[in-house]
Structure 1
Amino acid sequence: MQRTWYKRMLLSFFPLLLVTISAIIFISFLVVSEISMKQAEKANRISTNYVVDVLQSTVLDIESRVLKEIETNPRIADFMTKNPAEDMRLTQYYLSNEIQKIVENNPYVHSIYLYRADDDRVLTQSFLSNAGGFTDQSFIRQTWSTDYNPSWSPQRMYTDSSLTPAERVITLSKRTPLPLGSQGLVVVNVDVKRLLSIVDGMLNQELSALKISDSSGTVLYAAGEDDGANHAGSMSSLMDSSVLGWTFESGLRAGQLFGWVSVISYIWIIIAALIVVASMIAAVYVFKRNYKPVELIMERIQQYQLRNLQKTKGYDEFSFIEKALESLAQQTMDYERKHQEDVHVRRKQFIRDLLEGQRTVTAAEWSDNAASFKLPHSFQRAVVAVMEIDKFSEFQTVYPLRDQNLLKFALTNAVHESVQQEHRHAWAEWLSNDRMVLICSFEKSGDNEEERLAQLLTEFSRWVPENLKFSVTIALGAMHHGLDGIQTSFRQALHALQYKLLLGEEKLIHYFSRPTRTGAELPKYYLRIAESVQHFRMLNDTWWDETEAIFQHVRDELLTDEEIRAVMRYWIHLLQTEFQDCGHERSGPDVQALVGSLHTVVNTAGQWEELASAFSGQLTGFYRTYHLYRSSRKHRQILLGMREYIEKNYANPELSLIHLSEKFDISAKYASQLFKDEYGINFVDFLVQLRMQEAKNRLHLTDESINGIAVRVGYTNAVSFGRMFKRVIGVTPGDYRKLKQT
């Protein structure tokens, strides 16, 4: 098919577009040139201002150093006053050396000399002479006759000897003592040539022009004007230095060219506007000529079957054509929708129903859907494997959602292809974000099919971390017959996966190789955890052995992942409850941080050893902090003494808060408060615990009578002892002895 209309439209609009864009580009160039000129002038002003600031700061720095030297150097005062206490020759010698050092340390200082008015003498860095024979005597006379001269002098010629040529300098003179003394002058000469050498390093003479003049109009520095007036550019910036008395004139060397471009830019803007108007007129003509084919299409559509299309608001020709095409497409889609559904969604729901048993999938239903779902029409035996991504929360953190879906897609294809290489048929579906189910079916019975599948999945669990950079744990159920066997095998795989923490990640867990449990009673763990937390809070070091014993019992009794996490969460809950009730100033924030980190460990750990190690490490760190904090309390010694006294004298029936207050010389209320704050338990409960513990030991290990035991643990009669024992332990003393003996 020839694209005649396309070529016609292209040849119609392309020249107009080309001309318009060319005009806009050229105008943009002119506008940019104008902006560049303004920016260059602004940059030139900033650069000139920077030159002025640098020169001013240099001479001001010299001035401040000289003033500081006048104020702080005692030899200057000795020289000016001819101090009789000092050897004047030695003073003059040292002072000359110091002047020489100042000149050598400042590259811009030409020379420094001192004038003493008392005997009309001048001291330079190399000699001492009369002012009448000094080469700079005219400047001295003029300056001394002036009452106040705060600024730097204009440029002048200076030499300290008739044998050396004079050089350009600017001079600062200060009377001594400061500010308007009558003893003499300190004269500092700054070399103008060296000072202006700073400007050479700061000025680009190819782009900028700069002229510096002093207050008398003498040109001190000129750059960028060596090519003549035609190339010097216009001096667009004028600045004065209040410190030096100099005038700075600067400009751009290409200033005339910029000015010419600025003038002609307005002419080209007018031309561009005319071009745009002409292009619009031409576009209207071309649109009108090319609209005729659209009118023909409209007429033909209306002549046929789409005359009933409704004209809506905003109706135009292309909307009409679009609606006609949408109507045809909608009719086609409605027809196809009756015969086609989303196979993927239906297949996923079908497999979920089959595995989870939400509804019974009959053999007839399986046969009806096998072809559309690409499932085997019939099979003898099947086995189910559940594949779970290890450390899924970390997987979600490391990879964005798009990469997660891509990796899971790659994992699905990889396991599907690996299994199908060895077996007749296999299909995989994701039941949740982190779990995928793999169903393998077999049409014939084989002795080693299940063993070969287990070996293949074991190798696949090693292949995943090497190639996909994350790991998976695979649980394999037993092989069963029929559709019901698929559900049974799925439940067995889920059961095997419950031992992932103890058996480890990145491996295959077979249902028949799972550990055989001896039976676990979670309430027993809760009691032992409560006792360990109590000892932990009371700073009893036995908590560590109790914690290790609990961990060992978890290993020995082979708790499932769900049971392990339930036990650990209960442990965390007890820690939070116990330490929040203690009322310490700092234990609250500390325990919140501990609880948060422990929850993170429990939720993210992939193996039991990792969980136990991190959990005990967190407890150990918190225990050390808590122990240090408690040891630093001022009442620590009092509480330790009270506790030691209670533990030794708990059998005393007279032991009470009043007794303790008299013993330790504190009020009963304060003793009770200290005890509660430190150990999180009131005095009475602590005393009862000690007495009951001793009573349990004697009931279990001795044949002593109950009355005798009651007296030994601090009760005056067996009735009150028995009542308290039953309330705390739950059984009477006699029943407790029978339970222990059996």
Structure 2
Amino acid sequence: MMRNWYFRLLFSYFPILVLAFSIIIFLSYIVVNETTRKETKKADGIATGYTIDRVERAVREIEMTILNEAAKNPNFTLYMNRSTDLEVKYAVVRSLRAIMEDNKLIHSVYVYRRADGTILTDYGQSELSSFGDRAFIGQAWNNLEYRGWSPSREYRESEIAQPAAVISMYKRAPLPFGDDGLIVINVDLYEIEKMIGGMTNRQLSFMRVRDAAGQLVYPPDDGDDAAAEGKVLTTARSERLGWTFESGIQAGQLFGWVSVISYVWVAIASLTFAAAIVYLIWITKRNYKPIRLMVNRIQTLQLRNEGTGRELDDLAVIDRALEKLIDQARDYEKEKRESAAIQRRQLFLDLIAGERGRHIGERLSKLNPLPEKERYAVAIARLEQYESFQSDYSPGEQNLMKYALGNVMQELALSEELYAWGEWAAPDRIAFILAADGDAASVKTRLRRTASVARAWMEERLRIPLSFGIGSVVDGWRGLHEAYCAALTAMDHQLSIGRDAVATSDDLPNGAQREMYKYMQLCTECVQKFRLTDETWREKLELLFRQLEADAPRDEDIHSLLRLLLQLLGRELKELSGNLGGHFEGEQAELWRSRFAYAPSLREMKALLLEYLNEIYRTYVAISETKSYKAMIAEMRAYIQENFANPDLSLKHLSDRFQISGKYASYLFKLEYDMKFVDYLVRLRMQHAERLLAYGDDTIQDIALKVGYANSITFGRVFKRTVGVTPSDYRRLKMRPSAPQ
């Protein structure tokens, strides 16, 4: 049986070898032929394009030379103005001769003066009636708007002169659009043919050129017969001349060298095939020996264990043994992995829960979740907007996102030389134990940087907002419970101490928790000022948030204060009108409350709340005041003061906002403030810009954007017109803002 296996192994390779060899030979030949054809066509296209470019450049150079001479030489203009001075005519003739001598492609150039019907050539002056090219002049004069070159034609200066094949262009004189005559340029087709012929190897390739009328320009004699022997590979058109260029390879020249390569390739392939057969026999014999030994050992074990002498096929023996081995290895790895994951998670929970004892150290040594380092710390990552996260993703997608968060945090921590071990402590919260060397401040800095990068990465790539709480740095695993509690406390103060949604325990305020009564009093005062339409309600709100930033209460307390403020305000205002009630109840109110709940910091919460209260305040003021123009202009003024930095603020914007016409809004401003709306807006913006220039260090461009200008150039021009100096001089001279009016 062993000898049968040897021959089976040996001969099983032959069909594959022969098939692969045949396919390689066939494909190689196809690839070589196809590559040759494509490269030949590509090269032919490049050569044809080069020829067209050369010809177009030549005629363009002729055109520009004559036009420049006609424009710069005053004698042409004098001649067209019916000058009888012989010196003028001689000067024009000399100029035409010089141009023709400088360019051999130019056959002739002549000037036609319509006033007296005279023609001025390089040989002198003649009358139109005796000029041999008068028919072309008549055609040109009837089509003065044509700017291109004519088809090939015959040109002669007199009736007895020999005709010459040329292409012609004419220009109205005096340049550029005069009606006093024409300048006619004739290019010698014979010279063009020589130029094209110098760029074409007629032994290998051919080229046909036809003008717009279909007349053959190149080759000059019997070109079709020569070209018919080859295949046209490239057809291109010159837009300047209106010529069509056809080119290709002469028959018998394209694939001659391919045959030589094919013979060499067949010889090489035959030698390779012979060598492959020899190598196949040798390698089969060499590989057969370990297979025979392996099958013998497997059969010996099977006979011993099963007690049967039943003979099996070699492949069946190997397959049966490998199947058992793989099943056993898979079961073992699965059990080991599940057991290790459970043990690691339980150890993690015991560490952050403060479990102590010798068995903790033994479990750490056995599982080795982290390398032994000088410092340890705990960080907690929380999934913000967890309800949306659950509704937007399926359970499988949620698990994938959580897995990605753990891996991203571990990899980013490793880049900062921090070793992270993370486990999900709650459905929306994952805790990390981190180990590192170095002093506590360095570890805390690296940990904060890792958390910031991880938060930005998750929000940018996966659109999942995160917040982090970072606990204290401890010297050993026994302090991890303390670090975990500090991280939880920092997480609870995210709004007040968090920076870019990362809060650390070091930023927690010292001392006892402040009494909530103080904040409630500020909320009540703010609502009272608001109810009395006292503009100082904004100052009370600002004072409330400054106090919250200084005292850093828990996030839960801040949200409770916000709800209290809105409840007090709603109780005071929502019954006054349906418009006010809509701000406190309904879909829009729920949207605002959702935005407040997801605000990542006190600063953003304050901005949202101020925007919300300003909107309510405007509605409340409009209801409280009478509907006279006084009330309207006061509301418009308040709106302008709040939105003067909007570059789109205009009379149209105000008319749309307050449902009045632009003319009426302008009339109200003129009546109330004795100035136009634009002047009022500019004065308000410039006053604010003066304060920014005097007391801030923003750039001129940033200040321009803050006061409603899209660029610093417009802002600087308006500022100088209003204040008298440029913004940079105002800052350099350390000028002080003028008093608000």
- The two structures have a TM-score, normalised by structure 1, of 0.47
Q: Please tell me whether Structure 1 or Structure 2 has the larger radius of gyration of its CA atoms.
A: 1
- TM-score between both structures, scaled by the size of structure 2: 0.47
